[in-house]
Structure 1
Amino acid sequence: MIRNPKYVYGPQSVLVPANINFGDYVLEKMWPFRQNVCMINGATDEQLTYNDIIQQAMNFAVSLTRMGVRKGDTIALFAENRQEYWGAVVGVACSGAVLTTINTGYVKDELIHVTNISKPKYFIISPSMYEAHAKTIRSQKFVKKIIIFGNEKKQNTLSFDDMALEKNGLIRNVKYEEFQSVEVQGQTDTLFIMYSSGTTGLPKGVMTTHLNVITACGLPASHDATKVSLTISPWYHVMGLVGTLTALVTGRTAVYIPKFSVDVYLRSIEKYQVVQLTVVPPVLVAVCKNKSKYDLSSVRMIYSGAAPLHKDTIQDVKATFPNVQGVYQGYGATELTLAVLRYQFNDPVNKLGSVGVVSPNTVLKVVDIETREPLGPNQRGELCAKGELLMKGYVNLGRGSDFDDEGFYKTGDIAYYDDDGYFFIVDRLKELIKYKGFQVPPAEIEAVLLHHEGIKEAAVIGIDNRAAGEVPLAFVVPQPGSTLSEKEVQDFVAERLSNPKHLRGGVRFVDQIPKSPAGKLLRKDLRKMLKTMKSKL
């Protein structure tokens, strides 16, 4: 009944529609902007209006329902950033189905792992992903039908164009005033399943509700809706998926790039007079190192997420973008729908290194790592969060050990807040490695290494890397008589895991892996060993 004075409470300022249906919510928000350009492909200059997305979404939702899709069915979306993506996302939401977005960098075993979590009955897929993974997808007995983006016809598949575009002659355009999404219980029904490793281990399926996403979209804007923005975040990731949806409800025009290239990125800024950038730190590092002579004077605001920004990078950014007025950071997680710490658009305060203040409808606390007691201002401890942005739970796992007795999500990050309520992330308890904003679980790489017949034991840590944030490094105990090389171990992992999980930090051969009496890997001791090895070189 009484607020804890050591908790930090966000304002209760997000308005939520009575029916709490995200499909209806986002269509209603986009409708006033229907004549506006929504998306521009920076590589091809192809444009998409808000009306294009609205029409595709309604048509696709009706087609899915006629095909037999019912509320609660899971549909996978497996594609790179491309124009049809948002008609598919909103269409699935309107149909009452659950959408699971899949990392396009996954290799076979990773794809099997995540689909066994969500068990999608249907796949929406791009031609390139179909070419690479059709055999694996068809081997999954729970997959009933495959829908392919584009005009290309494949045997035993359906065409997205046939289900979403009237011009193909197979469907008629649905009228906005006659359309209504399938009824859902928005506070409890799952809208998205995304994948996160939580604080440790293999990817788990994060269930995000309609209410979670509506709450995120209702937060005060971090961008100026009247100015062009540029994003390269992959849309299967929470930063790209929910981040873009928060832009769609404001009518903003966004330039996107399907595949990152420094030259295309800088050329797009110049051509479209981009004012706002949404980035991850490695992109800023790459851009600041580039010596191309593009006009970047239009950029005023830069918003960074997914990993901490180094102070030197912030200084480099200010030298690269002559008119930049602010470099802002935020903080969130897949489990937290998007950002629970952030700066609002035109915030007059921008404290160097801070990730902003607590978002509305959110409660944060910083607790002592040992005692779990709440701490006050300027005291470092583990950051914990709860509120309307907090996920429903993990598929088949509930909330598990990632939550404390009060229902707060334990982020695994060490933080503090100052006397003004601005938060700073200073370290990480959890073992995840952050490579260019991607979560890399050491346990997953270790499990692969132990399948090598020449490896007796293995442990993986992240080491600092200016360009990428962190990169994985492996400590390996070879089997007696084995003649392993560093390259052989790196190649073994590269063949079995996706790009962010490759051993860019190298391999160190050791006699034993330090463990606690209970058998737990002592990663702190591994870091000490690494320093000793370096000093001997």
Structure 2
Amino acid sequence: MNNPLKPNSDLILRRNNKVYGIPMKEEIGQNGYGYYVYEKMIKNKDKIFQIHGLTGESETYGNLLKRCKRVALEMMNRGVTEKDVVLLCSQNTLDAIVPVFSTQFINTILCSVDPSQSVKEVAYLLNLAKPKMGFIEKESVNLIKDALEINGLKMEIIVMTHDDDKNCLGYFLKPKIEEDNFKPKIMKDYKKPGFLFFSSGTTGMPKGILYSGYSSLNNNLSVSQLGFEAKIGTHLSTFYWGSALLVTTKVLISDGMKVVIPTRDTRIFAKAMSDYKVTLAFTSYTFAIGLNETITKDLNFNNLEYLLIGGSIVPENHLIKCRKLLPKTLVLLSYGQTEAGYITSFTRETYPFALQKLSCVGPPIPGTIIKITDPDTEKLLGINQKGEICVKTNWHLNGYHNADTTTIFDKAGYLKTGDLGYFDEDNCLYVSDRLKETFKFQGWHVSPAAIEEVLLKHSAIKEGVVIGVPHPLDETHSLAVVVLKEGYEGINEEEIIQFVNERVSDREKLRAGVKVWKELPKTPSGKIMKRKIRDNFINK
């Protein structure tokens, strides 16, 4: 097979064991994300921006602009400033995008939580963000109130209904005298954070990731340079995940339309994709696992150009299955991080490699440099040598919210991803493992530290850790490895499992059970060696 990257060897190249994406042709968004959105809405005012994938209700760019102006003005009237954080908690609806764009019109930071999260999880995230105002779907109001109460936080709750009550979105959407003359503020510092995402750090607990609208715009522009467009785009996730913003931004850059599909059911989601002739969809591990011939046989995916699967590496057999079911579609493993957006990608020209190198995530996207380093020494590694993936771009995160950021960059300014991987001889990247202790269950980050906190409250346990072990359908299951206190040697493992499972969320349950060891391996300093424990179960 001919190497499709060889003709571009002067563009995608390896130099001093660093792999360079092709140069960016231009940059956009210097006036700010909100101003870019505003100009796109003016340009495309009569075109449909979004359509509900289940009901067919639609909205033009122009009408959405009017609604976003009104909400932005009302937020300012209520004292929301550039220094504040505004919360969104909503399933994917036609209203969900309004707070996203409205906050960017006034250069305020937006953060999101997902309605399916537990009170405990949301309480932790809200304590990090401390939002001044929140736009909350009606079904999640009690979730947010309970989470605020745990930390004694106060926040103005705006219920996302169209009632006239002053604490409802409908009130915000009333006509404003100033709306005809309103324009978003031009940002003095266009790299100022506009979004606050949440991700799991190396310590295992979520951190607030500050990300600028400028970074989102140019990360998407980089992928556009490879030929990716979202003439009709959709995303599976809510705005809690960065992928929702990435697809929305991609639609804007493409002057396209977004199909809003408020479900995670694979069958329903796939049917809406077919009905509205989606051209680009960002989905998940669970979507790829669930897609089958029974679902696709009566549907038409001839218009689907790109199916991006993010969050986790899909097993090869399911990837092959998806590509057979969608023969006209580029089915791609999307490697990226909330901290850096898209990082690698195959293109239509290099897709033959994707078909041959099933677990490969492709070469760097334009404007990106990747190197592989030894996690302990930061020594540069060569071809087929596994180490930590480190990335340099102009659109990585601004930093962690109210937390130290110095440790996530190396001395040369590369972002340390916490992922292990390697490059092959064709400059294609493979992601093989995670340095981070966190793992994923059905696309959700699971924090071992949170489960361990509960586990160690059991009276029989002297010490213990929680690790993730691979599962063919759910990605990873939680397994506890414990050392028992003297006198408790006869305790039933099921009792420990029940104790923990009654006190954690569904995704944190010990589905892989409990293993009792006499002692846990430790470093000379006394730190438990989790990777060594995990290897005992992974590498059997």
Match in the other structure for 1:61:
72
Q: Greater CA deviation, 365-374 or 58-67? A: 365-374
Residue from 86, 92, 111 that aligns with 1:75: 86
Match in the other structure for 2:8:
none
Q: For 1:99-139, what per-residue CA distance to the aligned partner results, in whole angstroms no more than 9, with x for missing partners?
A: 11123333222222222212111111111110333233256
Q: CA deviation at 1:93?
A: 1.0
Q: CA deviation at 1:429?
A: 2.3
Identity among equivalent positions (%) equals 26
Q: 1:482 to 1:346 in 2, by over 3 A?
A: same
Q: In 2, Cα distance between the equivalents of 1:98 and 1:491?
A: 41
Match in the other structure for 1:341:
344
Q: CA RMSD for the aligned pairs?
A: 2.9
Q: In 2, Cα distance between the equivalents of 1:289 and 1:325?
A: 15
Match in the other structure for 2:265:
261
Q: CA deviation at 1:16?
A: 3.4
Q: In 2, Cα distance between the equivalents of 1:173 and 1:488?
A: 64
> Do residues 103 (structure 1) and 109 (structure 2) align?
no
Amino acid at match of 1:317: C
Local SS of the residue matching 1:218: helix
Residue from 344, 355, 361 that aligns with 2:361: 355
Q: For 1:120-172, what per-residue CA distance to the aligned partner results, in whole angstroms no more than 9, with x for missing partners?
A: 11111111110333233256555341111013577xx7111211354xxxx35
Q: In 2, Cα distance between the equivalents of 1:18 and 1:108?
A: 36
Local SS of the residue matching 1:28: helix
Local SS of the residue matching 1:146: strand
Q: CA deviation at 1:50?
A: 2.4
Q: CA deviation at 1:328?
A: 1.4
> Do residues 306 (structure 1) and 315 (structure 2) align?
no
Local SS of the residue matching 1:158: coil
Q: CA deviation at 1:385?
A: 1.1
Match in the other structure for 1:217:
220
In structure 1, stretches of 5+ residues that fail to align are none
Match in the other structure for 1:136:
147
Q: CA deviation at 1:187?
A: 4.4
Residue from 185, 196, 200 that aligns with 1:197: 200
Contact map agreement 1:224 1:345 (CA 8 A) in 2: no
In structure 2, stretches of 5+ residues that fail to align are 1-13
TM-score (norm 1): 0.88
How many pairs were matched up?
521
Q: For 1:285-344, what per-residue CA distance to the aligned partner results, in whole angstroms no more than 9, with x for missing partners?
A: 1112756753244344322111112221121113333x33422122111111x1121234
Q: CA deviation at 1:513?
A: 3.0
Q: CA deviation at 1:83?
A: 1.4
Contact map agreement 1:472 1:505 (CA 8 A) in 2: yes
Q: In 2, Cα distance between the equivalents of 1:16 and 1:141?
A: 43
Match in the other structure for 2:5:
none
Residue from 494, 502, 505 that aligns with 2:509: 502
Local SS of the residue matching 2:110: strand
Q: In 2, Cα distance between the equivalents of 1:80 and 1:492?
A: 32
Contact map agreement 1:71 1:182 (CA 8 A) in 2: no
TM-score (norm 2): 0.87
User: 1:18-417 counterparts in 2 under 5 A?
Assistant: 19-137=30-148, 140-152=151-163, 158-166=167-175, 171=176, 174-175=179-180, 178-221=181-224, 225=229, 227-288=231-292, 290=294, 293-298=297-302, 299-321=304-326, 323-336=327-340, 338-344=341-347, 349-351=352-354, 352=357, 353-417=359-423
Local SS of the residue matching 2:469: strand
Q: In 1, Cα distance between the equivalents of 2:530 and 2:482?
A: 13
Amino acid at match of 2:207: K
Match in the other structure for 2:10:
none
Q: 1:391 to 1:506 in 2, by over 3 A?
A: same
Contact map agreement 2:286 2:474 (CA 8 A) in 1: yes
Local SS of the residue matching 1:359: coil
Contact map agreement 2:163 2:171 (CA 8 A) in 1: no
